[in-house]
Amino acid sequence: MTACGSTGNTTANDTNAESASSATASTYGKFDGESAFSLAKQQCEFGPRVPGTPAHAKCAEWLTNFLKASCDSVMVQTGKVQTAKSGRLDIKNIIGIINPEASQRLLLLAHWDTRPWADNDPDPANHTKPVMGANDGASGVAVLLQLAHQLKQDGTSLGIDIVLVDAEDLGENDVEESWGLGTQYWVEHPHVAGYKPLFGILLDMVGSASATFTREYYSMQYASGFVDLVWNCATGSHFMNSQGGAVTDDHVFVNRAGIPCIDIIDMRADSDTGFGPEWHTVDDTIDHISPITLAEVGQTLLNVIASLEQ
């Protein structure tokens, strides 16, 4: 059995002890949460990355250049999507490819766009203002950028595809297909014909100091064995060994296309929305992001990669 691939019964504490030793055994250095934090901050410095705005265009260029420096190749997929409230929009999915020749591949996804409306803000005057998306957007992207940077230094034998998807956050409540528009486009137009990775992992809202990562419902429906593997690789105190709620996030469209894909997402059992208090408010800013949480998620991914390499 691989370093953290055991699916035996473990408690959260057993899991942490197990992954701490596997992290030592892996060939990778420690995941650098401070650098990931800086990458989240740099995204926020562009302003909200709302599709169609200059900040979105500038951030796309920065993300592309970052991946070009860290991956073997980069593809920028441009497309047009129909939104629920903003008409037809031009989108960009930005794809970094590591070890293009490897047949065993892992898909890693995060959305890089931010929501145009802070429509869950307690103050209705903020409902037409954009979300900064330090957590809802920048955090997942930051972990994947830092991961690519460290893998460039440390090397890996696994094929890895980092897909930064656009237009995730233009959705309307109760209209499933209005979410994940960039992912739906990518599923219809995969960057490689017949693309079939072993698994996918989506990161969404992975930066809060008080994050709780529970086993999300659709992830369990489509890929429970892989959820077990990832949770057995998990480090730190934010991964919970409990069942979570369901969210129509990007991974649902990936699973429907036949790629088993899980969502590492901060869901809160004690909240009306199911998410943290900053979700879709003007308070989703960098001061609520913790380098420690980012490090735990990034280290978990390094442990998963080491496990799949064996």
By CB under 6 A, name the binding residues for ligand 1BN. Answer: 136, 169, 171, 179, 204, 247-249
Residue 113 near Zn ion by CB under 5 A: no
Which two structure tokens, joined as six digits, stand for 243?
């069942």
Q: Segment contacting Zn ion (CB under 5 A): 101-109, 163-171, 223-231, 296-304?
A: 163-171
Residue 249 near Zn ion by CB under 5 A: no
Closest CA to 119 of 282, 266, 231: 282
Q: What are the backbone dihedrals phi and psi of residue 208, each rounded to the nearest 5 degrees, phi first?
A: -75, 145
Contact code string over 72-111 relative to Zn ion, x by CB under 5 A: ----------------------------------------
**Quick one: what does residue 247 bind among ligand 1BN, Zn ion, none, with the CB cut-off 5 to 8 Å set by partner type?**
ligand 1BN
**Quick one: what does residue 56 bind among Zn ion, ligand 1BN, none, with the CB cut-off 5 to 8 Å set by partner type?**
none
Residue 136 near Zn ion by CB under 5 A: yes
Q: At what angle do helices 12-25 and 217-232 cross, to 10 degrees?
A: 50
User: Which one, 32 or 204, has the nearer CB to ligand 1BN?
Assistant: 204
**Quick one: what does residue 248 bind among ligand 1BN, Zn ion, none, with the CB cut-off 5 to 8 Å set by partner type?**
ligand 1BN
Q: Which of 169, 249, 278, 284 binds Zn ion (CB under 5 A)?
A: 169
Residue 284 near Zn ion by CB under 5 A: no
Distance (Å, whole) CA 192 – CA 246: 29
CB of 137 to ligand 1BN, least distance (A): 8
User: Which one, 77 or 139, has the nearer CB to Zn ion?
Assistant: 139
User: Which one, 169 or 266, has the nearer CB to Zn ion?
Assistant: 169
User: Which one, 67 or 165, has the nearer CB to ligand 1BN?
Assistant: 165
User: Which one, 69 or 84, has the nearer CB to ligand 1BN?
Assistant: 84
Binding site for Zn ion (CB under 5 A): 115, 136, 169
